[in-house]
Amino acid sequence: MNMDVVDLIRIKRDGGKLSGEQIDWVIDAYTGGVVADYQMSALAMAILIRGMERDEIARWTAAMIASGERMDFSQLRWPTADKHSTGGVGDKITLPLAPLVAVFDVAVPQLSGRGLGHTGGTLDKLEAIPGWRADLTNEEMFEQLNTIGAVICAAGSGLAPADKKLYALRDTTGTVEAIPLIASSIMSKKIAEGTGALVLDVKVGSGAFMKDLDNASRLAETMVELGKDAGVNTVALLTNMDTPLGLTAGNALEVRESVEVLAGGGPADVVELTVALAREMLTAAGKPDVDPAPALQDGRAMDVWRRMIAAQDGDPDAALPVAEHQHVVNAERDGFISRMDAFGVGVAAWRLGAGRARKEDAVQAVAGVEMHAKPGDRVVAGQPLFTLHTATPERFDRAMESLEGVVDYSDQAPQVAPVILGRVG
């Protein structure tokens, strides 16, 4: 096929529409090294500025799927449902959610990633459990889904390799925010993964990728359309990320909190979102009449969790690592907490060692931020507000800087924003 990437850049730069053949060619040529990074950077910037029509995004997504393998779960004894979160602070929902849904004979193939910057990664959290391993063969994954019903593991290199290459490029060229590219990146991997139903948790607010509800809604609508076009029953919840989820941000800290949820306790916002997403997943998988909430109280979800962790060589009874160094930050005045900025808390956890600046960086299992109050709670001056955890105490100063101004106080009880802001699909 005789094509020139410069022509495609010009078309999109001038507000034109790429044909299906042009999209197929440029994704294949970029994956194969024929189109250079600087040329794809120019095209990505043109897409960021000019946008794409629905059929362009669908074809772009299909071309990225076609760059690699597709998984097929049709031979499993249960229907499949998956969840994808766009990322936030304290977002440990996958950990209790996967075993909760599996209680009801819906298999959850949760292919997860690692954290980058202020947002945490599910695999980093689970690796705080002694012995647990993220990398499974396809055979191991299928076996675990057939016997236990839930697996959380790393995605193989064969799924949408074009996306891996393009994602790294977008991260370094200021084009991450392009909604067509975000949507196609997420959905190419999820469609290639082969799940029958997909529930998207699209975060909105300071600690999220999408800061405002309008852009988050556009992203959610685009992804739901892509899923349905590909035959995947897809819905999205728009959820609040102005405030961190739960009372912890960090790897071992979040595992501990997730186990509390599975034991019938845990913070109310984490329980609410876990149950809401479980209901959506079960409905999308053909079980609309199931109420998942009791399975958190009666031990059924905990039983699946223990089997799921043990199947990946983790010890569900092992003590989680604890930071050698801790520092307490106290409330500045009496009053109600009216705001707690998720982004500032996430950056603090990252600076303490819970996250990474580059993909190759190591993370500390023990690092993070523990919150002792949240918006709506009354505090008195000098009361502990945060406990900072790290293995490297020289990190405290920088973490403290990121916590400056993250909390607002009021004399009257504030109106606390809901966890779930909307639904698409």
- Specify the amino acid at residue 275: V
Which of the residue ranges 59-68, 167-176, 197-206 would you say has the lowest mean pLDDT? 167-176
Three-state secondary structure call for residue 239 = strand
What would the two tokens of residue 160 be? 């949408």
pLDDT score recorded for residue 359: 67
384-390 β-sheet, strand order: 248-250, 368-371, 384-390, 325-330
Contact (CB, 8 A) for 192 and 331: no
Closest CA to 322 of 365, 351, 370: 365
DSSP 19-42: -HHHHHHHHHHHHTTSS-HHHHHH
In the numeric block, which tokens belong to residue 72? Answer: 């097929």
What's the gap between Cα 109 and its chain centre?
14
Per cent of the chain over pLDDT 90 is: 88
Distances (CA, A) of 143 to 76, 79, 136: 9, 15, 10
263 contacts: CB under 8 Å, gap ≥ 6: 302
pLDDT tens per residue across span 354-403: 987 776 778 999 999 999 999 999 999 999 999 999 999 999 999 999 99
Q: Domains in the chain, start-ordered, CATH in brackets?
A: 5-51 (1.20.970.10), 81-162+174-311 (3.40.1030.10), 325-410 (3.90.1170.30)
| Cα–Cα distance measured from residue 194 to residue 230, given in angstroms and rounded to the nearest whole number | 10
Residues with Cβ within 8 Å of 162's Cβ and at least 6 positions away in sequence, in order, are 27, 28, 30, 31, 63, 64, 67, 68, 188
The edge-to-edge listing of strands for the beta sheet with 335-340 is 378-379, 335-340, 407-410
Collapsing DSSP to helix, strand or coil, 186 comes out as helix
What pLDDT does 322 receive?
Answer: 98
Single-letter code of the amino acid located at 322: V
Which residues are catalytically annotated?
A: 84, 163, 170, 185, 189
Model confidence over 129-157: pLDDT tens digits? Answer: 999 999 999 999 999 999 999 999 998 77
